[in-house]
Amino acid sequence: MKRSILLAVVAALTMATPVHAVAPSSDTLSQMFLWWNAAFKRTNGFTPEAFRKYFTDDATLTLEGKTVIHGIPEWVDHFRKIQASGREVEIVVPFKDVFQKGDRIFTYHVIRSRGPGKVTCALAAGDAVLRDGKIASIMLVRTNLDQAGLKAEPDCWSS
């Protein structure tokens, strides 16, 4: 079910724009992920104050239909735990595709990760809802690429 939803979203996004289009990175979600990528590389990069620049105090993150984060303190804790894992993680910006309609930003992008002896890469699609110019929610569905997908996707790390 999750995979079919992701494939439907990806198909809709890819039909809307040329395959090799470079998505702009001036939208709020892209700007937040540019900050996130830099913060991930710094000890104490994930602070409540930093998250408040991009998120509302009650912002949520929903992954595969399950809300996993609600509120700034949970954003900070969640991403500090990932940071402490020792893996390198990056959201590829510019996104494969991104567009905004009103207070919603729709995205299709790559999440890449590597650690000792293991490289992973996922395709993600979903949307962010803005309130007063800040992110009030992000909803994503993701699918991890197999070895063939890792080799075929140019935005994935090879080692």
Q: Is the dihedral of CA 65, 125, 119, 77 positive or negative?
A: negative
| Domain ranges within the chain, ordered by starting residue | 2-152
pLDDT tens digits, 14-27: 444 333 344 458 99
Decide if pLDDT at 10 tops 50.
no
pTM confidence score: 0.83
pLDDT digits (tens, 9 = 90+) for 59-109: 999 999 999 999 999 999 999 999 999 999 999 999 999 999 999 999 999
Mean pLDDT score across all residues of the chain: 88
Distances (CA, A) of 68 to 26, 32, 39, 63, 74: 27, 18, 20, 7, 9
Higher pLDDT, 21 or 1: 1
CATH number of 2-152: 3.10.450.50
Mean pLDDT computed over 137-151: 95
